[in-house]
Each structure stands twice: as structure tokens, then as C-alpha cells.
Copies of this chain bind each other. A is one copy, B any other.
Amino acid sequence: MPHIPHLEALIDPIANDLTSGAAEIALRAITVFQTVLTESRNLPPAEIKENMQAAAKAIVNAQPAMAPLFHLGNQVLLAIDKANSAEEIQEASDRALSEFDARLCKSADMIADHVYKLIPPGELVFAYSFSTTVVSSLLHARSKGKFFRAVCTESRPSMEGRKLATMLADGGLEVLHTFDSAMGLILPSCRVAFMGADSVGQPGIVNKVGSWILSLACRELNIPLYVLCGTEKFVLGEQVFEFERHERAGGEVWVDSPKGVRVLNRQFELIPFSQVAGVVTEFGILGQADIDKHIGTMEVHDALKLETSAF
């Protein structure tokens, strides 16, 4: 049982963040682990580990679709497993957290280098939902002197597409913006499309709702749609379906819906690999076979094996 009195209060901002990308939220989760460690430092080592496991499970459950949160917790739990004292736990955890942080930054840099080559100069580039990887890749290309314009849509109901538009415009890109269902009007003028991912597993890519119709429209119009995400988004087996647990209150879509109307508010959906041009990772553009191979090498801590979903 968790010994952290205000774990919920620490996790809530993560659970309720609907506009940040997965990489951004992972950085926030690092702070949660650091806080839990600090508050547990006078407990016996076994209880510190229990608290860290409780924190990892709670973080994963707060955003079940966001694979980096899983990997962050997994790395920390695997790292502290063999530690024998509070000091060793602290040291192992600090190292795991800072390695994870460094990995995220390095992934983003390497992905940006690959994306640079995928942007045709002078053209319109479509970007969907919000992803720090997409933002950093497009702004990197712009800062390296490539001229292009970006198009994005609002991403109902959380409107994180406005955040994307604002950050791209702040970074010096000219941005066209419209509502989601108008993608069919603007995509024919675009030459390439990018989206992030919340997780990538054997059946496909999990991302914000709307990605599936985007992938259909891109296929129909012969526009390559690339998924930008580091391998920290890759997940094992059934875990890719965890996003299905992520249903939110209908009131976020329609505050005062009338009697007789049930409002659905799901956040994520699955896009088959066959509907995207490729997954751009720190190791280059991967197809389904490469992804399967990478997933085959992943090690998962017992505390995070899929019984978590009963939790």
C-alpha cells in the first residue's frame, strides 16, 4: 500500500493535462518520482521501493496511453531493484531519471535531423494535434534555413492544436489553422503530414482521436504521413490497448447536453501501420518489422506487468 500521503495531488496535474505532448508530461513525472523519494528517505529500503512502485503505477494509470510514462517508471523500478539502502536507491533512481531525460532530448534531436530531409522546401506541411517532437522538428528545420508553411487543425475537444499553432508561429513559421473536419479542404494543398504518437505497439500507432481520419485522407490524397516519436513510445504486446481505458467526461465536449443525448469523449485511437508512411525515431524511419524487433528486446518490471490494468 502506498505510504505517500498526497500521491493523488502529485498525480492529478498529469491526469488532467490534455494539451501537453507525452514527452512533456514525462518530464513532469520525473519531478513526481523525485518528490516521492525525498518524502520516503527515512523509511526502510523495502518501503521506499514500494512507494516508488505505487508512484509508477499511479503515473501509468493517470495517462494509460502515454508510453514514455510507462518507460520512465519501468526504468526507475528496474534501476532501484538491486539497491540495498536508501542511499543506493536514491543514487540509482537519480541516474535512471537523468538518463531518461537525456534520452528524450537526444531522441528529439535525432528525429529533427531526419525530419529536416522530409520537408519539401516552399511547401505546405500538415501537423496534427500537439507533439513536442513535431514542434521541435519543424522549428529545427526552420532554424536551419528551410522555408515552408505549416497547417494545423484545432484538435477538439482540448484544442491542443491551438497550442501547436501558437508555438510554431512564435518560432517564426507562417501557420494556417482551421477546424478538424476541414482537413479535407486544406490537405490537398499539403505535400507532407506529421503527427506525434502516444504509443507504438505491434498493431499500430496510438495517437489523439482524429489521427485515423487524417491517415485515411492522406492515403486518399497520396500525402505521406509520418509519425514522429522516439522508441521511448514503443510498448509491449497488449499494452498498446491501454489507451482504451482513457475515456473522459462528456461534459468536456458538451457542457449542457440535453436529456436523451449521451456524449462520448474518448481521447485516443489506433492507426494501423499500413496507413502511415513510416515512424521516424532516433534510429531513422522504421517500418513495422523494425518496430517488432525493437519491442522484442524490451524488459518490463514485474510491478508494471499488465495486471496493472486491474488496478
Chain A residues close to B by CB (< 8 Å): 153-157, 162, 165-166, 169-170, 172-186, 209-210, 212-213, 216-217, 220, 250, 253-254, 257-266, 269
Main secondary structure of the interface of A (DSSP, over half): mixed
Q: Which residues of B contact A210 (CB under 8 A)?
A: 181-182, 184
| B254 contacts A162, C-beta separation under 8 Å | yes
Asked if A259 and B169 sit within 8 Å, CB to CB, the answer is yes
Chain B positions within 8 Å of A153 at CB level? 181
Question: Whole-angstrom distance between the alpha carbons of A238 and B184 in the complex?
Answer: 21
B216-A175 in contact (CB<8A): no
Residue pair B170, A184 in contact (C-beta under 8 Å): no
Closest 5 A-B residue pairs measured CB to CB? A181-B210, A169-B260, A184-B212, A156-B179, A180-B181
Query: A157-B179, A177-B262, A182-B264 given. 6 additional CB < 8 A pairs?
Result: A162-B257, A169-B259, A173-B260, A175-B262, A181-B209, A184-B209
Residues of chain B within 8 A of A259, CB atoms compared: 169
A178 touches B213 (CB 8 A): no
The answer to whether A181 and B156 touch across the interface, beta carbons within 8 angstroms, is yes
Which B residues are CB-close (under 8 A) to A174? Answer: 260, 262
**Partner of A261 from B157, B169, B185, B216 at Cβ < 8 Å:** B169
Write the nearest CB–CB distance from A310 to chain B, whole angstroms: 24
Cβ-defined contact, B156 with A265, below 8 A: no
CA gap between A153 and B265 in the complex, in Å:
11
CB distance from A212 to the nearest CB of B (A): 4
**Least CB distance, A120 to chain B, in whole angstroms:** 20
A266: chain B residues at CB < 8 Å are 178, 182, 185
User: Once the chains are docked, how many angstroms separate the CA of A266 from the CA of B177?
Assistant: 11
Evaluate contact between B175 and A261: CB separation under 8 angstroms.
Answer: yes
Q: Identify 26 residue pairs between A and B in the complex whose beta-carbon atoms are under 8 Å apart, listed by A's number.
A: A154-B253, A154-B254, A155-B181, A166-B261, A170-B258, A173-B260, A176-B261, A176-B262, A177-B254, A177-B263, A178-B253, A178-B264, A178-B266, A179-B180, A179-B209, A179-B265, A180-B181, A181-B181, A181-B209, A181-B210, A182-B266, A184-B210, A184-B213, A184-B216, A185-B209, A216-B220
